[in-house]
Amino acid sequence: MPTTGDQTHFGRRTVRLDEKQGLVNDVFHKVAGRYDVMNDLMSFGLHRVWKDALVAKIRPSLSRPFAHVDVAGGTGDIAMRVVKAGGPLTQVTAVDVNGEMLRVAEERTARRPFSKQLTFIEGNAETLPLPDSRFDAYTIAFGIRNVPRIEDALKEAYRVLRRGGRFLCLEFSRVDVPVVDQLYDAYSFAAIPAMGKVVTGDGGAYRYLVESIRKFPPPDRFADMIGEAGFARTDVTQLTGGIVAIHSGWKL
Ligand SMILES: C[S@@+](CC[C@H](N)C(=O)[O-])C[C@H]1O[C@@H](n2cnc3c(N)ncnc32)[C@H](O)[C@@H]1O
């Protein structure tokens, strides 16, 4: 369903742009404590493989300072992976609009040897509370489709990256393989909300998740949006038959 200038999607519903963030925040407040368990269950552990594939593209320096920002960082999965992939001078800033998700991230990382290399900041992807041209790489994993004004988030990614810095986005995409797409739809719309209800007590949160995937722009269109924000050499890598895609762009 097309939306007008001040409207957007919240799953299947059309909502006002200024209404969406509150609805998204409610979803993640409800599921924060069980978010990690649910990720493993509904993806059969595959989210770990996808996140490893994203971080493998970053290759932080093992000897020189490397500043990374992970936006919509949630419970810290990407931040932890980047810091482990880098050297002692790698610093990762994880930003999320939801303090509840960040608290889980802080608890998970507090006693880890790399905890001093991590900083958690409550903030919105559309208006990052971060300086210009500061970071060597920016990631956003399963986050951008939740952001009401995706164009603003992309502009902010461009602003906070230094020249030569890389933007990387991991997001659910489109399954275009005949039969597999039908199985995927059946699993998504029937099993995932039911599983979400049992595990987190909230089937509606996971219905939103499934519906929001279908409303996200197709991979080529999203690559164009990244280019329109100023990034060069944009490309897309689809994984697991198109269930997810990694989009990349460079600030040159
Ligand atoms: C599906 S979780 C992904 C978490 C983590 N990146 C991962 O891959 O496990 C989506 C996250 O996006 C965050 N989020 C939603 N809207 C946001 C916004 N406008 N700015 C920053 N974070 C946002 C939510 O609070 C939530 O933690």
pLDDT tens digits, 112-131: 999 999 999 999 999 999 99
Q: What is the pLDDT of residue 205?
A: 86
- Confidence grade of residue 1 (pLDDT, cut at 50, 70, 90): very low
Q: Which atom of ligand 1 is nearest to the CA of 101?
A: 27
C-alpha 91 – ligand 1 centre gap (Å): 20
Q: What integer is the mean pLDDT of 167-176?
A: 93
Q: Which atom of ligand 1 is nearest to the CA of 126?
A: 19
Q: Which atom of ligand 1 is nearest to the CA of 124?
A: 20
Q: Residues enclosing ligand 1, CB less than 6 A?
A: 21, 24, 28, 71-74, 77-78, 96-98, 101, 124-126, 141-143, 146-147
pLDDT > 60? residue 2: no
Q: What integer is the mean pLDDT of 213-237?
A: 96
- Confidence grade of residue 94 (pLDDT, cut at 50, 70, 90): very high
Contact 168, 251 (CB under 8 A): no
Among 20, 76, 8, 10, smallest CA distance to 210 is for 10
CA 13 to chain CA centroid, nearest Å:
21
- Confidence grade of residue 3 (pLDDT, cut at 50, 70, 90): low
pLDDT > 90? residue 30: no
What backbone phi and psi angles, to 5 degrees, belong to 238? -95, 140
Phi-psi region of 58 (alpha: psi -120 to 50; beta: other; left: phi over 0): alpha
- Confidence grade of residue 4 (pLDDT, cut at 50, 70, 90): low
Angle CA(95)–CA(97)–CA(103) in degrees, nearest 5? 75
Q: How many CA atoms lie within 13 A of 249 on its CB side?
A: 21
C-alpha 250 – ligand 1 centre gap (Å): 22
CA end-to-end distance (rounded Å), the chain:
36
